[in-house]
Amino acid sequence: MKLAFLFPGQGAQAVGMGRALAEAFPEARAVYDEADATLGFPLSRLCWEGPEAELRQTVNTQPALLTHSVAALRLVEKAGIAPQWTAGHSLGEYSACVAAGALEFRDALPLVRRRGQLMDEAGRERPGTMAALLGVEAEAARLICDRARDLGVVVPANFNAPGQVVISGERKAVEGACRFAEAFGAKRVVMLEVSGAFHSPLMESASKALAVELDRAAIHDARCPVIANATAEPAQRAADIRAALKRQVLGAVLWEDSMRRLLELGAEGFVEIGTGRVLRGLLRSIARGAGSWNIEDPQTLGTALGELGVQRLPARSA
């Protein structure tokens, strides 16, 4: 089966994430030990014990999600399963780059922590917010944002699935766009608890500073293509992956288009690796019949491996 590995982004985090894998499998525990040593503080304790408010801080959330995804990925790799493509939602694109061999985990960790710092700082410099528009299609979301621009900066930020678009920008403009969406016939609008207007022009300072960090980062040609958020097209050369990551902070996440592109390329199954199963839910809205699995703990790992026809890994206390 031709598989695409998918990796979740910010918002999926939860206290306890990854603990069961680390307790059952030494390989997963080793990933958390490496993260603690690389970052110089006990990220593992924060992931497993909280407090939730601290885990929710962008600077911590991003390396936490990356680490859980890589811990689960190492077990999938041990089972002998390899992807033909990878993709990740926003922050998850860095996990996708690790899975494709374009980034080493030890290099990705400080990079995503710095990304989180820069995005948090940009959110304080130019405050903003985000909202989910449910029951609103992509073109309608663009028109709604255009109508609200007299109130300030507001743009579509995530095209997640049919009828699910997230908008981002200055609070007054986002709230105005939400009112327009309700008048337009949106089923529901949901203001999101975020520390900034991600994937909007308000992140310009973060984008510029992160571009400098990305120029310094050791990025390699990937073993398999990574579907870029900003283009929904495969990138495999190091230069193309670096350029895609630079575009990502300001650009919209073209997730629906990315999944459709994977289907066009021949993807037969999708494996969501890391915290939660949000991406599987979005996939069902895009391609209901597509085979999908999620792997975040020993139970889901065993189920996925069994259904993919792979022998389960022996677990033991780490």
Beta bridge partners of 226: 86, 235
Model pLDDT for residues 122-159, shown as the tens digit of each residue: 999 999 999 999 999 999 999 999 999 999 999 999 99
From 102, 25, 97, select the one nearest 299 (Cα to Cα). Answer: 25
Please report which helix (H) or strand (E) contains residue 191, including its range: strand 188-192
3-class DSSP state of 40: coil
The sign of the CA dihedral 276, 281, 286, 287 is positive
Confirm whether 44 is a catalytic residue: no
Q: What is the mean pLDDT of each run of 10 residues along the chain (318 residues)?
A: 96 96 98 98 98 95 98 97 98 98 98 97 97 97 97 98 98 98 95 95 98 98 98 98 97 98 98 97 95 97 94 63
pTM for this prediction: 0.96
- Whole-number pLDDT of residue 310: 86
- Whole-number pLDDT of residue 316: 62
Please report which helix (H) or strand (E) contains residue 23, including its range: helix 19-24
DSSP letters spanning 229-266: TTTSSEE-SHHHHHHHHHHHTTS-B-HHHHHHHHHHHT
- Whole-number pLDDT of residue 80: 94
Question: Catalytic one among 44, 68, 95, 199?
Answer: 199
Model pLDDT for residues 11-37, shown as the tens digit of each residue: 999 999 999 999 999 999 999 999 999
Q: Is it true that the peptide bond before 26 is cis, omega within 30 degrees of 0?
A: no
E strands in 56-152: 85-88, 129-134
Gyration radius of the chain's alpha carbons = 19
Confirm whether 199 is a catalytic residue: yes
- Whole-number pLDDT of residue 317: 42
Question: Catalytic one among 44, 69, 90, 207?
Answer: 90
Query: Which architecture characterizes domain 128-192 according to CATH?
Result: 2-Layer Sandwich (3.30)
Superfamily (CATH) of domain 3-124+201-307: Malonyl-Coenzyme A Acyl Carrier Protein, domain 2 (3.40.366.10)
For 277, residues 6+ apart whose C-beta sits below 8 A from its C-beta are 294, 296
Enumerate the domain spans of the chain.
3-124+201-307, 128-192
